[in-house]
Amino acid sequence: MPILNGVSLDIRQGERVALIGANGAGKSTLLRCLAGLVPLSAGDVEILGETFSGSPSARQRKALRRQLGFVFQFHGLVRRTSALSNVVNGYIGQGHGMRAWHQMLAPHTVREEARAALEAVGLGEKWDARADTLSGGQSQRVAIARAIVHKPSLIIADEPAASLDPAAGSDIMTLFHRLAGARGCTLLFTSHDMNHALSYADRVIALKAGTVMLDAASSDLTPADLEPVFHGD
Ligand SMILES: Nc1ncnc2c1ncn2[C@@H]1O[C@H](COP(=O)(O)OP(=O)(O)OP(=O)(O)O)[C@@H](O)[C@H]1O
Ligand SMILES: [Mg+2]
């Protein structure tokens, strides 16, 4: 039984898209398929100028990493290193290689960019804190800084606001919205917060049991239109 079935989507450069759906609908799987992190059993993906079926080649993976910032649902930080080192990690695969692994070895400019990314997510003073001493919301901000540090042209964020309090959640979504708008960057995020989906995306796509049940401009939608995504048909 495939997790996703008959999903056919076109997302344009610069579009801000919210992907919604109940637990287990297939949102994370779809994002991971797009990034080449889960092999496709059928169909293909065309993303950032690369086309693949199955899995991307090593060259394609490298090209995707350079242009893509991915915020994972569960942060995925290296726990025993500092916030700054985690952000510097965002450069690995962007041509800076292992030199960027630890901030002490990182080129000055990489550290400066990483500091700027931490400032941008409101964690400037915490750059030196070990990741495993940060709160869930602070960790999420580090994960976001890591995803944006190399100025990707596409940001994919899996529930970026899930572990944040309401005010911090709105701040983070505003930040994404602004970054995407200012840089002409494409933004694809998942959310269980319908207000976030409607306020911070130009378009809302809803998945139900692995298929697209709704795909519309957020300006044409009301919260009531989104109810069936989570409740019966
Ligand atoms: N690695 C895996 N192997 C097998 N099945 C998986 C795997 N990962 C996810 N699934 C299944 O795929 C379906 C979709 O999962 P997915 O994580 O994509 O849902 P989701 O929409 O992101 O849910 P949530 O809102 O809880 O994050 C679920 O039924 C899940 O059990
Ligand atoms: Mg998920």
- Token pair in block for residue 158: 């899996």
Candidates 4, 20, 27, 212: which one to mutate for ligand 1, based on the most atoms within 8 Å of Cβ?
27
Q: Does residue 157 sit within a domain? A: yes
Q: Is 97 in the pocket of ligand 1 (CB under 6 A)?
A: no
What's the total number of domains in the chain?
1
Distances (CA, A) of 86 to 68, 121, 185: 17, 14, 22
- pLDDT higher at 110 or 100: 110
How far is it, in rounded angstroms, from Cα 95 to Cα 98?
A: 9
Atom of ligand 1 nearest to the CA of 29: 18
- Token pair in block for residue 168: 């911090």
- pLDDT higher at 220 or 169: 220
DSSP state, residue 1: -
Please give the residue range of the domain that contains residue 131.
Answer: 16-230
Alpha helices in the chain (DSSP H): 27-34, 58-67, 83-88, 108-120, 136-148, 166-183, 194-200, 223-230
Ligand 1 centre to CA of 40 (Å) is 14
Q: Does residue 218 sit within a domain? A: yes
Under a CB-based contact definition with an 8 Å cutoff, are residues 206 and 212 in contact?
yes
- Per-residue confidence (pLDDT) for residue 102, from 0 to 100: 53
Q: Does residue 7 sit within a domain? A: no
Q: Is 24 in the pocket of ligand 1 (CB under 6 A)?
A: yes
Q: Does residue 31 sit within a domain? A: yes
How far is it, in rounded angstroms, from Cα 84 to Cα 166?
A: 25
CATH of the domain at 42: 3.40.50.300
- Kindly report the protein residue whose alpha carbon is nearest to atom 27 of ligand 1: 23
Q: Does residue 9 sit within a domain? A: no
Ligand 1 centre to CA of 24 (Å) is 5
- Per-residue confidence (pLDDT) for residue 16, from 0 to 100: 95
How far is it, in rounded angstroms, from Cα 188 to Cα 176?
A: 10
Placement of tokens 């990707």 in the chain: 152
Question: Of 97, 96, 85, which is closest to residue 127 (Cα–Cα)?
Answer: 85
Q: Does residue 130 sit within a domain? A: yes
pLDDT in tens, 17-69: 999 999 999 999 999 999 999 999 999 999 999 999 999 999 999 899 889 99
Q: Is 25 in the pocket of ligand 1 (CB under 6 A)?
A: yes
Ligand nearest to the CA of 33: 1
Q: Is 38 in the pocket of ligand 1 (CB under 6 A)?
A: no
Q: Does residue 2 sit within a domain? A: no
Atom of ligand 1 nearest to the CA of 73: 27
- Kindly report the protein residue whose alpha carbon is nearest to atom 7 of ligand 1: 29
Q: What is the mean pLDDT of residues 93-102?
A: 51
pLDDT in tens, 184-225: 899 999 999 999 999 999 999 999 999 999 999 999 999 999
Lowest mean pLDDT among 52-61, 73-82, 125-134, 179-188: 73-82
| Residues with Cβ within 8 Å of residue 23, at least 6 apart in sequence | none
Q: Does residue 156 sit within a domain? A: yes
